[in-house]
Structure 1
């Protein structure tokens, strides 16, 4: 638990899967923090000061020291507050967790986004196929485990909250069958376990406003064709 001497704050926006990752880690650790909501259309001086390179959220600030990039922040939280570990203790298992977490960012996040929010039909098809291929790898990796981390939520699960919560919203918006129980039964079962975990349920943003936001974005894109 963060002591009174420690100042912990998070610059973020409601509805961001990357901000949500950090919030999950903080909740799992029982760390109290202050959420400083950003308007990305009018970025605050604090955000520009703390993340001058990328100028984006999340930014985690611990005793006035800023850390950027969600997976880096989650590892920092895990190393700073030891209770309820997020990464495995064994070096090999830690490296595996890092590999798959980066795989999700590199191979799933951008492809799934482009599969829905791209005007060009061929580009959409290409990214849909890339999303399926990446999800197949994760289907094989989860095996019959409850979570990627075993019986407890770990780094890969936190990284993959994008798949469990945001991809179903994307596919509802775009009418695509990216991530379904028949295509990916093990991964789908995992996703239901994750989003119904008490800690995750408490941290996830309300679904309806997020769905409405992305529907409006999709309709605006469709109108511009």
Structure 2
């Protein structure tokens, strides 16, 4: 069976004229940088479930017009662009759609983003004036993750959980089975990698070493066992 192909993009980035468009800003933080990490997380979970992904994440080098053109040229099943709202906006997600199928996709993505992260929501909304929604052939969603000010801490700390939830919603929309074991391992190596590293430091100073040389795979395996990813006695 052929893989299902989707488009996942990070909002803003490189403009039509080649200049950089950061999107909205708050202090040193930019919309483009924040949503690039969320989009990249979503992409990795889709790929591990066997979905073919057209994307610019995390580089964010394709502008909105080119994103739409690429989605249309590659005949994707759906088009998603991650954005966040400006600093004066209230907190909470607000996925935007234009079509009936886009509405279903927006609701599924929102459902699982709320389930797996601590974000709140302002609901989903139909918009008929936005380029990406109007000119993309496939069902499209502009997923506004939240306010760059009100939801900043959540986007910084829970970007992987947000991307994961979005991916689960997309997989349900596509009718593709998720692969939780692979997800769990990816999450361990990404979102909680600091735990593995901290366990390594404890391991280095413990009697377990017995003054012998330990390679990377061995100490990472030990760390993964300590946080419950690998079973006792198993190694990577």
Whether the TM-score (by the shorter chain) exceeds 0.5 is: no
Q: Give the alignment's TM-score, normalised by structure 1.
A: 0.27
Q: Which has the higher helix share?
A: 1
TM (norm. structure 2) is 0.26
